[in-house]
Amino acid sequence: MTRKEFLALPKRLPDVKSEYDDIYIVPTYRVHESGYRIMAVVGANKDGSKEIAATGDVIWWQFLAHGRPILHSDMDTNNIQHFWCCGCKLRVGYNYCSTVDIDVVNEGEE
């Protein structure tokens, strides 16, 4: 997918938490008042569904999964960062401000 296709995806409501199999970090090319670029966090699931889960200039990764979750990432030729992990899920928290919380949790964990 191109950056424009990612940014045209539906947006999740800001007061919802969701879990995804994969996360893509997509540059919006907008600049936050902090001076850093705003990123779109796109959640994707194995069934092919995708949505913009949140936007922000900072992502705080919170590792809550027990055992040894392994976080992987890569970037495609459109400068889209892709993150995934083995044996865990990526939970995107509420999106009330410019900071996005992403937790790495065991599958099915509250």
Query: Domain ranges in the chain?
Result: 3-105
- pLDDT band for 18, please (50, 70, 90 cuts): very high
For residue 19, the Cα-to-chain-centroid distance in whole angstroms is 10
Comparison of pLDDT for 63 and 95, the residue scoring more: 95
Comparison of pLDDT for 49 and 33, the residue scoring more: 49
pTM above 0.85, yes or no: no
Q: What is the pLDDT of residue 2?
A: 94
Q: Which helix (H) or strand (E) holds 6?
A: helix 3-7
Comparison of pLDDT for 62 and 54, the residue scoring more: 54
